[in-house]
Structure 1
Amino acid sequence: MFGKTVHIAFWLLACLPGTAIGQELIPNGSFETYANCPRQDNLLSEATPWYNPNQATPDFYNQCFPTSQIEIPPRTGQGLARLFLDQGWAEYLATPLVKPLEAGECYYFEMYVSTKTPNQYVPQTLGAYFSDNPVARTDKGLLGVSPQVLDSQAKTINSPSQWEKIAGYLKATGNERYLTIGSFVQLPRMLGFYYIFLDDISLLPIRLDLGKDTTLCGRKSTYTLNGKTPGAIEYRWQDGSRLSTFPVTRPGKYWVTVTTPCKILSDTITVDYTLDFDLGPDTTLCNEQTIVLKAPTSISAYEWQDGSSQNVYQVKQSGQYSLRATQGNCTVRDTIQIRYIRPPQLELGPSKELCGAEVYTINPTFAEGTFRWLDEFSDIERVVKSSGVFRASVRNDCATVIDSVEVGYGTCGCVIYAPNSFTPNADGVNDAFVPFACGDIAIKSLAIFNRWGEVIFQTDDAPFQWDGRYQNELCPNGVYAWRINYELRQRGQISQKQQQGAITLAY
């Protein structure tokens, strides 16, 4: 929402992530505390230590005394402040800081503003001025100072009664001890007053601190590094991640670089574990297998789930196994689940030799796992119509077994079968000449010849069959010749072949 301003060492941001850390330098920035509950207007001084720097009359309200003057609910908590701005009338609110600003140090400032009449709000006028001494004026006019933080947007407040953030950065010259908030550039040019409400005013030093080097008990200890920095634009951790926080999952050195418009910060921390061990992931074994669990050799005090204290533990049956180790004030326990299952079983049957156009159905026998064909055939039962080696597997968490079966047409050969006659009389029986073959044969073309050797029918596309017609007319009774070109695929070999024969057409 906020762009750059013309003021030195200050940038406004559209969106500033995270929760600010470090010492808050604005006392009572959310107007929650008061000397006496405000029961009328013009009582900013009750919101200690806020005060009025000129002769105008800024307001302080709190839900301790509900009033219709609280036209906009506080953004947080119970309290808020209000400024009245009109032609020749400038209200401000001011407060001493918790401590003076340090020379050369960068600070992040933000405040939230709202009004019921955003169309009357004069943009690019509201800001914050930091000074080493209080600023004051004996009338109700503009203070003659240039704020370090200024709303620079052409339109900051877009909706009535909507809280909007004005934020920016300040590089201190040193010893600034007071904050003054109000309109510093201009007031409304004509009578047409408006109120502006303020809440949640904050000033924080831009600092990064991951804390001191730390030693955790073990791998199950939870620890999150917090790199949150006021006004950060980008976080980059040692592994490239870009969140403001980082979960520690193992001992080592961690670091983060944080970019802000004011400066770039880096910090490093080393995290160690007193007890760095684990028994490994949960494991599934086949029957009769064993696994040996080992205790860390650098630790003298440890105890297994059955109370034993040997340094190795041999597992032979299903169950949950745990080891508790103690060193100093740290006690770490790790657990592993061991599961035993039977190995998978699979039988596809013996190899099979087929004859002619015979087909074969493979019915796998399997148990203790999930079955699948290795060529991704979907059904379990499989009808085989061509030569080949067919492989399948059965898998479970214990193991994977693979079996294969070979099917071939080697006993009596793979040939084309064709009828010797057909009757194209449309009675639904034997109405076409239809050759067929075993699955190893792929027919490529069919041609029909009359008794003079003339081609009367030819096709290179399936289905390869003749209905007894020539030029859409039924051919006369008689004997016709046929020729089929085909491709034979067997045992990895491909050969081009041709077969001829005769067919009798009769009505």
Structure 2
Amino acid sequence: MKYWLYTLLLFTLAFTINAQNLVPNGDFEIIDCPTNNINSITETATWYACSGADAYWLHEDCPLDPAIAESVFFINPATEAYSGVGYISLEGVMTRNGYIASEGVGIELTEPLQAGVPYFFQMAALFQNERIAGQHPGNACQTLPPRFMEVYVGSEKIQVRRESDILDVTTGISSNANLVLVDSTSTVEENFYNNQWYLFSNCFIASGGETHIGVMGSNFQVPANNGCVAEGEPGAVYLFGYSLDAVQLAEMPTEIEADRNICDNGGWVDLQGVVSNIYFDYASFLWEDGCTLARRVIRRPGVYQVDMILPCITIPITLNISIDEFCSAVMYTEEMPESIAENIVICTDEGPANINLLDYTPEVLRNDLSFDWADGYSGATRILDNSAVYEIWATTSCFAFPMTLQAELLACETKIFVPNAFSPNLDGVNDQLRPFINSPWPAISYQFQVFDRWGQLVFQTENPDEAWDGKVKNKIADQGVFLWSLEYDTGQENGGKTSLSGDVMLIY
């Protein structure tokens, strides 16, 4: 009998298959508690052992003798199920000559698989730390193989056949992929045997007529220099234990069609609302206009074609986009500009200015933006040395909008003058004291303070348009010398912050 091996891809995000699960009791919840103290899978009516060895069903509703659980290192009564209250626990062993054989479990599907139809497989797995003869083998024993778990489908029960006493595995299995831990850059791989649940998934095209599915750890021979066992060591030694839960297999669609509405000036369309979550996070997308975003702006109604590209199949998506007559701006949580207009100040005293148009576009729109200027220039950055109005198109393959850029050439040096005398006699001439500031930029912070000759604060303001009228506590101050200080900041990188102080004569 020929079976097929498929790659399992690791994802830390929990998925839920919305289609019918073809694996009965895939969450290991339904159980008649067996008569022995440890829950043997060989005494259940649905799942069966693929290797002829026992596997163990841990269930909250069934008693578990602590003494027996302690004798089997890979059973941890404190481990909670991935979902619900039941899960299955298995072991892998290695012989004195370095062969590894692992237990596995299988089950008959609720209906046969159809030829040429894509199916999505998913399960949760947990791995316990490996041991040798009750002891951890140490760093010299590298036991995580390239293929650490295998999934088989076939038209008969999934069985592993072993050769004599060396546990050499001869399954007659035809494989087309090695199992891969996808997120190899994360700490998950480094700490894989950490007694935590991880989710695995992949899709495949059925040959047709498969009625059984099986899951088991790898069966292979470790390299001679692995360091796991010494020459002549008798017997077999335990290597690892693993547990399974939430095993699911569901038929995938071969095409998807969906209706979406936009406002009459366009709108955001998100494929996550079209595609099932079980496929979305490991699918890539290609729109007919070349866009590869899962979320994009669509300006006009019509029929749009998108390919959802998965490891096993490319599924065409047809989107029927219509105008929503009752559309309101509150339907969209992110700004989608019709155009962007900016006034840019360019300092001539420091030479031409280098600007970056990305600084003037909403962050949500910056991915892969390109800019085409009406005068033929292309690019986000440009040195401007003339006062002018520039017309620009900001585009990607997914959207486009116009920009209007008005550049002003100014002498940008900030000039500040504070009088050295004033006379608050209400004659309409020089009655108030305030700084006179000439700057192309507004102040982002401003503080003007006046002190008497003993250092007592008599006036302060954070408003550049407010002046001191010469009064102290609502009375005209005596004639004399007063001190002042000014803090002024425009936020510009060069010369934007100014700190000044001086004195002023109050006279009548």
TM-score, length-normalised on structure 2?
A: 0.45
- Higher relative contact order at CA 8 Å, sep ≥6: structure 1 or structure 2? 2
Larger % of helix: which?
2
Find the structure with the greater CA-based Rg: 1
TM-score, length-normalised on structure 1?
A: 0.45
